[in-house]
Structure 1
Amino acid sequence: MWSRILSPRVIGRTGFCWRSLFTMQLKTSEFQSLFTDGLSGLAEVFEKQQHELRIAGGAVRDLLSGKRPEDVDFATTATPEEMKRMFQTAGIRMINNKGEKHGTITARLHNENFEVTTLRVDVQTDGRHAEVEFTTDWQKDAERRDLTINSMFLGLDGTLYDYFKGYEDLQNRKVRFVGSAEQRIQEDYLRILRYFRFYGRVALAPDDHEPETLVAIRENGRGLAAISGERICVELKKMVVGNHADHLLELMYSLELAQYIGLPPDGDVEEMKRVWQNAKDHSPKPMTILAALFRRPEEVEKMDLRLKVSREEKTLALFLVKYRRELRKSEDDPDSLKPFTDFIIDSRELDSQSKVCELLKYQGEEKLLAELCRWSIPRFPVSGHDLRRMGVTSGKEIGATLQELRDIWKKSRYQMDKDELLSYVKS
């Protein structure tokens, strides 16, 4: 069951459009599964005080796509002060209310946390932050959201409220900004990267962008320079492990965005496209894809200064840039893992096996990757204590002997035991 309600609405001083509300009823198993004791209790509190409560944003998109959302956000006509009074009266605990100034109150019921945010309108924006005021108009809250597919609400009775054809876009696998792409972007320049991320999640074709959207992105790309590296990094990492990541990264370069988001201006796009094809079906880490863009270690350092990636991500990028040509399968025995396992055995890094797995994804070595995932690092059976018991007392000699024995052990494919190896010392 669905319906569309139309009424005229003036936009700014220059245009006139129709306000369009599309509604339908959703009764899927994924939607019904959300109704835990906690959500039922939350709904009862709002209903008792006659305040509307709806599911908002990404959770609605996921439910309409047949997915059970991992996180569910709620929107309401109640103000933060009204919510606090409601929850206090009902004896409901509130936690982590750092978002209260933005209208978000977190309630805890039946060991579940529920984030509920008052409907808002943006009073002033600077491309990074927004000053908001509260409203009871669902349409106005929908207007301030980034993409049509993220601007829908879902009542707890299953009624969908869609003001900007988000459901239609979702059905057609289209990613569009709410209203003017330029205006939405200038409100928060990070929306450029969110556009690309959601394009990878929703669109079927790799190149089905609206021309005016790409024009708005190109003309406003420099605004990303003012966005914090941490926020950029979150979006970028999600995007590069989604669909069409090779196309989207190439497009970002053609739109001249790389210089503003920590990627090398002359990044190796062709290498990235090749690596993406190698790795896409093997759950690569985001840095495995991004590393292909870097030609030199210095570019990884610059990326880290801008994006402030984790130490693990930085060391993986440096590892891949250094060893992607140097550490490869043997031409004499291309089916052997030995060059890679020897490297892991000799490495002093705790996560060397994980890094080598990413290297094999990078190189497209599917067979060797599968073998390495099943391989467990063997323990070298000889210690310095064993050599001392045999009369080797010089520290320098012990170190040299252990290395010789380790080389023999590696040649045996790690099969020799302690007694076999110590026999070489006796001889």
Structure 2
Amino acid sequence: MTHISPELWLGRPGMPALLESLGAARGDSRIVGGAVRDWLLDLEVSDIDIATRLSPPQVMDALEKAGIRAVPTGLAHGTVTAVSHGAHYEITTLRRDVETDGRHARVAFTDDWRADAERRDFTINALYAHPFDGTILDFFGGVTDLGQHLVRFIGEPLRRIAEDHLRILRFFRFTARYAESPDPEGLAACAARANDLMALSRERIRDELLKLLHLPDPAPTVGVMLDHAILKPVLPEITADALPRLVALASAERAAGVPADGLRRLAALLPHGPEPAGQIGARLKLSNAQKLRLQLACTPTPVPEDPRALAYAIGGQAAIDRLLLTGDGRARHWAAQLAGWTRPRMPVSGKDLIAMGLPPGPQVSRRLAEVEARWIAAGFPDSREKTAAIARAVMGLR
């Protein structure tokens, strides 16, 4: 039987008391899912989820008696969030599916660990660790699959996708993160049911796609998805000829020491131009700020000799996007500076031009724009005296 060191979680402040309150010592509660998977792979773990045989009211009562704050974040689906020493832990009652339609599931609570495992998507996500002795419950060979770098559906893939269509995209995201190549049976099922993605909300598609693109090296998996027309039902604009742009962008990010960014990488996959980017941003329900950034990233704006001039016009983040997407080698030098760059304010205004003798009227804004252009070209001097000298030169004054 596989074991994992319980010190990985018992050393966290408040964790022993939380587990004791949930009856972990007698087997009522276990660490579950991603935390167990990533600890077995020696990866960093941020979130710890707990599965329990206790009902949601029993969980709430147990936490209250232990003096631990309980937040009823999803009682209908059996989830309570415990807040202990500033950390949040999701506690979910064991469940079994009663009815599914590809988008939603109606569940019933159970005390059967295997039944709870059967409703999870992949074998590597159906691992339960005893909180005090570290033994692993593994009903479907998830530990072996981890060792073989395999992401495999629990049960028959076509049926599992029919239960929840989002599992198509999750299959590829987890494959990109944990596998060397897609499981053939899972890949065939995803390709056969790709049209099911059209039934999902665009928000769910957006979130899963951006998580995939945010991974260190998503390009090989995205290439498989494009070869098998996985995205075609919902994002037909993304075609195979876009893959080299994603590869080049990921390489440019690494060379410049810039963290991966899912939205920037989405821009690499889209056609050039603000109009298609805007349409796709609206389809994916991006925020207004995200949609604008996507449109700017997809607009092939030349990067000037001083990239701060572009940052002044479109913002520091958008300028970094353009440097990286165009493969501009200067990104290595400018990325860090632009990331923390605050747009300066020109120290001369229209009132100053009038005070210098320019008559009030429409020409003030035109002249001020000329001054601003020269001020930008001069490297944004913050001296009022230097900027005033630029203004006088524009107006032909000494």
Residue in structure 1 matched with residue 227 of structure 2 by the alignment: 254
Q: Which residue of structure 2 lines up, in the alignment, with residue 77 of structure 1?
A: 53
Query: 1:268·1:292 contact (CA, 8 Å) conserved in 2?
Result: no
- Superposed CA deviations along residues 263-293 of structure 1, whole A, max 9, x for unmatched, are 5264642453444344442324222211223
Flag the 1:306–1:418 CA change in 2: closer, same or farther, 3 A.
closer
Distance 1:83 1:144, change over 3 A: same
How big is each residue's C-alpha offset from its partner over 1:209-263, in whole Å with a ceiling of 9 and x where there is no partner? 2222111011111111111111111110010121432222222222222233335
Indicate conservation of the 8 Å contact 2:124/2:151, yes or no. yes
| Contact map agreement 1:129 1:188 (CA 8 A) in 2 | yes
DSSP-derived class of the 2:99 partner: strand
**TM (normalized to structure 1)?**
0.82
The 1:92/1:210 distance shift into structure 2, 3 A limit, reads closer
1 CA distance for matches of 2:126 and 2:248? 35
Residue 314 of structure 1 pairs with residue 283 of structure 2: no
Q: Secondary structure of 1:139's partner?
A: helix
- Counterparts of 1:224 and 1:193, CA distance in 2: 9
CA contact 1:258–1:264 (8 Å) conserved in 2: no
Indicate whether 1:303 and 2:266 are aligned: no
Pair 1:145–1:118, CA change in 2 (3 A): same
Q: Which residue of 1 aligns with 2:33?
A: 57
Matched, 1:374 2:337: yes
Alignment pair present for 1:344 and 2:311: yes
Residue in 2 aligned with 1:327? 302
- Partners of 2:59 and 2:25 in 1: how far apart? 10
| 2:76 equivalent among 91, 101, 106 | 101
- Whole-angstrom distance in 1 between the partners of 2:323 and 2:196: 37
1:181-192 equivalences in 2 (<5 Å): 181-192=157-168
Q: Secondary structure at the match of 1:161?
A: strand
Judging changes above 3 Å, is the alpha-carbon distance between structure 1 residues 299 and 25 closer, same or farther for their aligned structure 2 residues? same
SS at match of 2:294: helix
SS in 2 for 1:407: helix
Separation in structure 2 between the aligned mates of residue 265 and residue 48 of structure 1, nearest angstrom: 48
Q: Distance in 1 between matches of 2:318 and 2:65?
A: 54
Structure 1 residue 147, shift from structure 2 partner = 0.9
TM-aligned CA distance change 1:223 to 1:48, over 3 Å: closer
- Is 1:279–1:364's contact at 8 Å kept on the other side of the alignment? yes
Q: 2 CA distance for matches of 1:92 and 1:328?
A: 54
Q: Match for residue 358 of structure 1?
A: 321
In the TM superposition, what are the counterparts of 1:284-295 in structure 2 within 5 Å? 284-295=260-271
1-structure distance, mates of 2:346, 2:296: 24
- The 1-side partners of 2:309 and 2:182 are apart by 47
Give the 3-state SS of the residue equivalent to 2:136 in structure 1: strand
* Match among 137, 141, 155 for residue 165 of structure 1: 141
Q: Which runs of 5+ in 2 are unaligned?
A: none
| Equivalent residues in 2 for 1:10-409, closer than 5 Å | 23-27=1-5, 30-34=8-12, 36-37=13-14, 39-47=15-23, 50=26, 52-90=28-66, 92-95=68-71, 97-157=72-132, 158-203=134-179, 205=180, 208-264=181-237, 266=239, 268-281=241-254, 282-295=258-271, 296-322=273-299, 324=300, 326-328=301-303, 337-338=305-306, 340-345=307-312, 347=313, 349=314, 352-374=315-337, 376=341, 377-409=343-375
Q: Take 1:48 and 1:312, find their aligned partners in 2: how far apart are those partners? A: 45
Instruction: Please report how far the alpha carbon of residue 422 of structure 1 lies from its aligned counterpart in structure 2 after TM superposition.
Output: 4.2
- Indicate how the Cα distance of structure 1 residues 214 and 423 shifts in structure 2: closer, same or farther if over 3 A, else same: same
8 Å contact from structure 1 (residues 246, 272) kept in 2: no
- Equivalent-residue separation in structure 1 for 2:108 and 2:98 (angstroms): 7
TM-fit CA distance, 1:152: 0.1
Give the C-alpha shift of residue 344 in structure 1: 3.2
Output the aligned Cα RMSD. Answer: 2.6
Secondary structure of 1:106's match?
strand
> Against the structure 1 CA distance between its residues 388 and 150, is the aligned structure 2 distance closer, same or farther, given a 3 Å change threshold?
same
Unaligned 5+ runs, structure 1: 1-22, 330-336
Normalising by the residue count of structure 2, what TM-score does the alignment of the two structures yield? 0.87
Secondary structure of 1:258's counterpart equals coil
1:148–1:178 Cα contact (<8 Å) kept: yes
Q: Deviations over 1:81-116 (max 9, x none)?
A: 332343444454422x24112112233344443321
Deviation of 1:28 after TM superposition, in Å, equals 6.7
CA distance in 2, matches of 1:91, 1:284: 40
